[in-house]
Amino acid sequence: MVTRFWNSRVIAYSVGLLYPALAVFLLLAILAYSPASLPSGLADPEILAAVKLSLIAAITATIGAVIAGTPLAYLLARHDFRGKMVLETLIDLAISIPPLVCGVGLLLLFGRKGWIGQPLAALGISFVFSLKGAIIAQFFVATPLFVKAMQTAIKTIDVRYEMVARSLGARPLRVFFTITMPLSWEGLVNGVTMAFARGLSEFGATLMLAGAVSYQTATLPVTVFINMSTGDIDRAIAAALILIFVALFLILSTRWVIARFKRGIEHGT
């Protein structure tokens, strides 16, 4: 019996460690290919321009995701209404379909002859082959992740807290900012991190709408693609390593912030 239990546990651990092992080997393969790529990449004007474009687009898209996604998440978490299933399906669909397909739709929508792009083009506003296109693409793919995180967080809050505040005369907007948002802070942190990381790593939709123009619309993922396509593997590896370290920093900093806040709450500080 003990031997059978031990064998079962060994098998379970072995299978459970397959994915972590693959992830570790993947990272090691990238790091070991060209250890000098990262220092050289940090001095490369093209990669530095890609870093700048990526950060501008991802930060702007994340701010947009928070502004547009927060009321939508609250609506879905707190209210039942006709058409709610349609809204949730659209959000899930945006997460499920390939970003390249999203990019095709965005190009048809925001292109010079698109429903939105044509009237804006008459005003001199263009999204194709511009940083604005990269921002729109990242906003579209990142917002559903933020909505999902916030919706889940708001659902975990006992609605009685909000009802008590309203019974004491607090207006709905004040209840939202003084009760709902503070109690859903963990979802907000996770949602912002997920939205920013998703925007930073976005490739397909950005490529379709903003193109791959170096120093103008080529974000880090697009730069990886361009240099791999042209055979400049060292530069591609440098851009990839920057993305990996930024993602690692985001994950660790988010976990540190959440852990610190939880300790502060437990100790009443």
Per-residue confidence (pLDDT) for residue 138, from 0 to 100: 96
Average pLDDT score over the chain: 87
pLDDT at 126 over 60: yes
**pTM over 0.85, yes/no:** yes
- pLDDT tens-digit series, residues 214-228: 888 899 999 999 988
Average pLDDT, stretch 12-19? 74
Per-residue confidence (pLDDT) for residue 168, from 0 to 100: 86
How far is CA 21 from each of CA 11, 13, 28, 76, 245, rounded to the nearest angstrom? 15, 12, 10, 38, 19
pLDDT at 145 over 80: yes
- Closest C-alpha to 147, from 240, 250, 77: 77
pLDDT at 231 over 90: no
pLDDT at 22 over 90: no
pLDDT band at 144 (very low <50, low <70, confident <90, very high): very high
Lowest mean pLDDT among 32-41, 43-52, 80-89, 161-170: 32-41
Judge contact between 146 and 160, C-beta under 8 A.
no
Q: Which DSSP helix (H) or strand (E) runs through 18?
A: helix 18-33
Q: Where are the domains of the chain?
A: 1-33, 43-266
Distance in angstroms (rounded) separating the CA atoms of residues 4 and 26:
33
Per-residue confidence (pLDDT) for residue 119, from 0 to 100: 92
Distance in angstroms (rounded) separating the CA atoms of residues 236 and 37:
9
Q: Would you list the DSSP string of 96-146?
A: HS-HHHHHHHHHHHHSTTSTTHHHHHHTT---TTSHHHHHHHHHHHHHHHH
What class has domain 43-266?
Answer: mainly alpha
What Rg do the C-alpha atoms of the chain give, in angstroms? 22
Hey, CA dihedral for 124, 130, 133, 135, is it positive or negative? negative
- Closest C-alpha to 200, from 150, 246, 257: 246
pLDDT at 11 over 80: no
Distance in angstroms (rounded) separating the CA atoms of residues 222 and 58:
14
- pLDDT tens-digit series, residues 81-124: 898 999 999 999 999 999 999 999 999 999 888 899 899 888 88
pLDDT band at 3 (very low <50, low <70, confident <90, very high): low
Distance in angstroms (rounded) separating the CA atoms of residues 164 and 187:
22
Specify the DSSP class assigned to residue 179: I
Distance in angstroms (rounded) separating the CA atoms of residues 127 and 209:
7
Of residues 195 and 29, more confidence is placed in 195
pLDDT band at 268 (very low <50, low <70, confident <90, very high): low
